Amino acid sequence: MHGYANIDDYKIFPNKNIEAPPFTKQPWDIADNYNRKKIPSYFLQWIHHYKTTAFVVIKEGKLIHESYYNGYSHNTVSNSFSMAKSIVSLLVGCAIKDGVIENLNAPAGKYFSPFNKPNYQTLKIIHLLTMSSGLNWDESYSSIFSITTKAYYGNDIRSLISSLTLIDTPGIRFRYLSCNTQILSYILEAATGKELADYATEKLWIPLGAAHYALWSTDRVGGDEKAYCCFFATATDFARIGQLILNHGKWKGSQIVDSNYLAQAIRPANWLLDEKRNVPLSYYGYHFWILYYNNQPITLLQGLAGQYILVVPQQQLVIVRLGEKRCRYKTNGIPCDVYIWLKLAFELVNT
């Protein structure tokens, strides 16, 4: 019996390893003023209120702050929840660089055989990336009867995905659906000939010099990765994802993600209509959220329980906040506590 999705759920699910071989590890450079400035007392109430487990700040490629709470440490892996969606998007960018996915306007059915039927031909890869697929998925986290709950706790997610049908015209309206990411994972597997975890190891974890192994939970032993969630890593290794985005898809001078793809991925897909308002979409790209703080554009990866990677190009900042709780109130899909962590990071680096 499980009452609520947890940041330690790798303990209850089978997992595939995302390896970090000793000879590929690259420690973060440490800033001269590393942890010199402590978290101000008036922020500690929010640290505790939102059950923070890790707060990490990277500036100009150097670790400037890290702090851990509630028994967690720099060695503790924690659930990404929906930050995994953005990781899948990055892997699509890797596949484009590799030339195994040539066109985002290709039909999804070209790679995912259950959709290789006449009534699915209008569904393209770009529609999955921009959450405009028009599929009949119930993105409910609280109902024990929703398909999202069945996907999280069930043991055959591929069958759930294969049973979906189109109920809206793809490419018209933004509607956030976890099934889109899962289909992208099957497209990646078909295009690359590799399991998702293996491709993530090869294209991200080893090139980024991750210091710790990661895990991707599966629906059963040897089954499919839950691509839309359930990527477990440490806070400082999650920060490598943010630094990769900050560096336009490069790491240590090597291009890992196609730069043109990534540039488009972190821009709003403004040709779509907002899900609830009949206005152009202004806050979501290819599985990335977009916001503004102090008139600065910021890329956000976010997860269900307040998992955040924030990329602030003008300040050369990467911020990682992990925990068990987030603000209930959202603007454009972005929880209000995101702005607390931005303000805290700015205070820590502006000494």
What integer pLDDT is reported at residue 2 of this predicted model? Answer: 53
Residues in the chain: 351
310 within some domain: yes
> Tokens 């420690």 correspond to what residue?
27
Closest CA to 13 of 195, 233, 219: 219
Range of the structural domain that residue 113 is part of: 9-349
- List, for residues 218-259, the tens digit of each pLDDT value: 999 999 999 999 999 999 999 999 999 999 999 999 999 999
What is the three-class DSSP state of 292? strand
Decide if 193 is inside a domain. yes
Residue 216 belongs to a domain with what CATH number? 3.40.710.10
What percentage of the chain carries pLDDT values higher than 70?
Answer: 97
Strands (DSSP E) contained in the chain are 15-18, 29-30, 52-59, 62-68, 78-79, 214-217, 231-233, 250-251, 254-255, 289-293, 296-303, 307-312, 317-323, 330-331, 334-335
pLDDT at 343 over 80: yes
SS3 225: strand
Strand partners, 233: 78
pLDDT at 3: 55
pLDDT classification of 140: cutoffs 50, 70, 90? confident
Residue 4 domain-assigned (yes or no): no
Residue 3 resides in a domain: no
Tell me the two tokens of residue 13.
């699910």
- Residue 1 placed within a domain: no
H helices of the chain, in order, are 41-49, 83-98, 125-129, 147-153, 157-162, 178-192, 196-200, 235-246, 259-265, 338-349
Q: Return the ∠ at Cα 335 (arms to 259 and 282), rounded to 5°.
A: 50
For residue 248, being part of any structural domain is answered with yes
Total tally of structural domains belonging to the chain: 1
pLDDT in tens, 148-183: 889 999 999 999 999 999 999 999 999 999 999 999
Q: Is the pLDDT of residue 17 over 70?
A: yes
- In this prediction, what percent of the chain has a pLDDT beyond 90? 93
242: left (phi > 0), else alpha (psi -120 to 50), else beta? alpha
Is-contact 141 2, C-beta < 8 A? Answer: no
* Domain membership flag for residue 150: yes
- Which pair of tokens denotes residue 260? 């043109």
Q: Rounded to an integer, what distance in angstroms lies between the CA atom of residue 54 and that of residue 7?
A: 12
> Cβ–Cβ contacts within 10 Å for residue 39, how many?
17
Q: Is 61 left (phi over 0), alpha (psi -120 to 50) or beta?
A: left
Residue 2 lies in a domain: no
Coil, helix or strand at residue 284: strand
The tokens describing 122, both together, are: 């209008």
Q: Report residue 144's pLDDT band, with 50, 70 and 90 as the boundaries.
A: low
Digit-coded pLDDT (tens) for 118-130: 999 999 999 999 9
- Global pTM reads 0.97
